A = this chain, B = another copy of it.
């Protein structure tokens, strides 16, 4: 903690003189954090939220730019060095969309979602975009419809087993089961000429909440917008992979951009989907493949249901505006603590992203006040209000790409939030930061129960595990029962940490609260409004304030501590668990392959097929071979030993000479970048982190040790063997770095 000038504010003075004995030297005192807390105002957050969500704020919307300008002015007013950084990105917006049922009868479908009287903003849609998905392929098609459940690979297996092809047809897939963008992508790969994605009530409406406005559940006319760019290949501007979309950047043509899909695709409501599904014929959909509409579902694919689908977009470049604000570090100005949240929404964006954005603004206001009162962080703090996250993580990705070299030199940690709900702590990220996050979460009280948010998070794990043993990992249940740390989840994608963690290898965190809000029902629709948030998601923004206090602590402590506190044993344990998961995955898959071969040979599938659902045997895909994983197992074993040694040294680091401490800290500050392989993952070189990645077939969901795991899942045996070695190498590098740091802290033997 560094004093920039002498200011006499009672609370701050207290903060500066009364650091308790147990605090880490240089870390912010409890009193200072209390002062910080006292400046977090839910009234501020409510005011900003109401203003910023009062008009459509998608990329290019005037109100989005106005919000950026307002934030810029506020940051400056609060004492930050702030500017707007613009990129010009390919961002298609629909000129028109057409959807009509042609057979069995002509009915116009689609169009804007209907206003709901109780929700004032829902009638202010004149400037809103219609329901659409960004980066679909324009087109005009009329074809029969095939229901494809979630539109994921196993659903295509189910269709194939029933002899139903989507070739030349329009796929109707429901939201859920995997990321949105995979649905039209897989449909396209299977030969479909169009795709519709609808919100089934089993997933985000009456099956889990009262329907809006009685509750927050999705109403029958609600539609989920979103991006369908192929982000598991690379996020950001489709025309500038790997580099910032600056004026002089070399751009691909639209045709060269592989992340843009080729078939027209629209999202629709369950009111519209009902018109289609109720007319479908073909085999019955049974079990978990049907949704929650009050009718039998059929797979369709016959001429009895035909739909006309057409989309025409404006494919011009559009400007996006990131607001970037810094508080310069006093003693370590070239060590950056970066914290961001996006600002753009799909329509009004009240919950997604503005609940998180106003929490960020609260932190910035409080940090600015501390700064103006004399405090200066040891490290530089960078706050970012990202634009264009919704269509493809555009703002954060272009910024991270444009500043890649500087970030790799300077950024120690990236801390992300996004739309925030209420309820239980959710925390994901680089596992060596797990204990650091828990220390902060132990010091922030849950607004409802007044216990530490980490404690309430553990209670949620325990109550869920008691109700259903299989819903919680046994090790996490036992840890929660023993009062251990609340576990971090692995990061995949779906928000702005992606470029930092997975392209650059910067240790990252993603924090928020959820589980008790009903924002699923308004997600990416016109009903994601101030009314919805304040009635069903975080009334009074109590959890918005809690988020500010939590993230503020993480930022303050990371900025002022001698080093960003890390416990490498937590990372080693996580990697070890992932290794074990993969071994089990391979063994289970091999066993299932063997069973399949046996059952195919004996004709069991044909014998078991029902006249109600006549299916053929699953495809023969061969037997998963035994893959030599020893290099990886040895590396993980080394990692565990090295982490244990390093943690031991770090636990007594304050006894070492200052110069030794500095050397150790410098050697570990950017250790996560060792997880990067410059060649990246198979088929997607932009993703370079060999421990954390979004799945190619999950989209958002994480795949850990992804080079090996996905190769086994997708039966690419040569890749599996190659990535055992590559992954082992980055883990060995990481372990060696830990060994070196530990050696620095030990007297010669």
Of B208, B294, B446, B460, the contact of A286 (CB 8 Å cutoff):
B208
What is the count of identical protomers in the complex?
2
Known: A462-B599, A466-B592. A516 touches B612 (CB 8 A): yes
A370 to chain B, nearest CB (A): 32
Of B207, B284, B458, B598, the contact of A209 (CB 8 Å cutoff):
B284
Report yes or no: A607 in contact with B459, Cβ–Cβ below 8 A. Answer: yes
Which of A294, A515, A516 has the most CB atoms of chain B within a 10 A radius of its CB?
Answer: A294
Report yes or no: A217 in contact with B595, Cβ–Cβ below 8 A. Answer: no
Known: A463-B608, A599-B463. A294 touches B296 (CB 8 A): no
Of B209, B464, B518, B599, the contact of A466 (CB 8 Å cutoff):
B599
A209 to chain B, nearest CB (A): 6
Interface size on A, residues (CB 8 A): 54
Report the separation of the CA atoms of residues A459 and B217 in the bound assembly, to the nearest whole angstrom.
42
- Is A293 at the interface (CB under 8 A from chain B)? yes
Chain A interface mostly helix, strand, loop or mixed?
A: mixed
Report yes or no: B296 in contact with A293, Cβ–Cβ below 8 A. Answer: no
A303-311, A391-399, A447-455: which lies at the interface? A447-455
A180 to chain B, nearest CB (A): 24
Of B446, B449, B607, the contact of A449 (CB 8 Å cutoff):
B607
Report yes or no: B296 in contact with A210, Cβ–Cβ below 8 A. Answer: yes
Report the separation of the CA atoms of residues A599 and B286 in the bound assembly, to the nearest whole angstrom.
38
A204 to chain B, nearest CB (A): 12
Of B210, B292, B607, the contact of A284 (CB 8 Å cutoff):
B210
Report yes or no: B604 in contact with A459, Cβ–Cβ below 8 A. Answer: yes
Residue ID in chain B nearest A481 by CB atoms: B598
Interface string of A573-603 (1 = CB under 8 A from B): 0000000000000000000100110110011
Residues of chain B contacted by A592 (CB below 8 angstroms): 466
Residue ID in chain B nearest A206 by CB atoms: B296
Report yes or no: A284 in contact with B215, Cβ–Cβ below 8 A. Answer: yes
Of B214, B451, B595, B607, the contact of A455 (CB 8 Å cutoff):
B607
Report yes or no: B459 in contact with A296, Cβ–Cβ below 8 A. Answer: no
Report yes or no: A290 in contact with B207, Cβ–Cβ below 8 A. Answer: yes
Residue ID in chain B nearest A617 by CB atoms: B463
Residue ID in chain B nearest A287 by CB atoms: B208
- Is A606 at the interface (CB under 8 A from chain B)? yes
Residue ID in chain B nearest A449 by CB atoms: B607
Interface string of A288-316 (1 = CB under 8 A from B): 00101111100000000000000000000
Residue ID in chain B nearest A477 by CB atoms: B595
Top 6 nearest A-B pairs by Cβ distance?
A463-B608, A459-B607, A459-B604, A294-B294, A459-B608, A210-B296
Given contacts A209-B296, A210-B296, A215-B284, 8 further A-B contacts (CB under 8 A): A206-B295, A211-B295, A448-B611, A459-B608, A481-B595, A481-B598, A516-B610, A518-B612
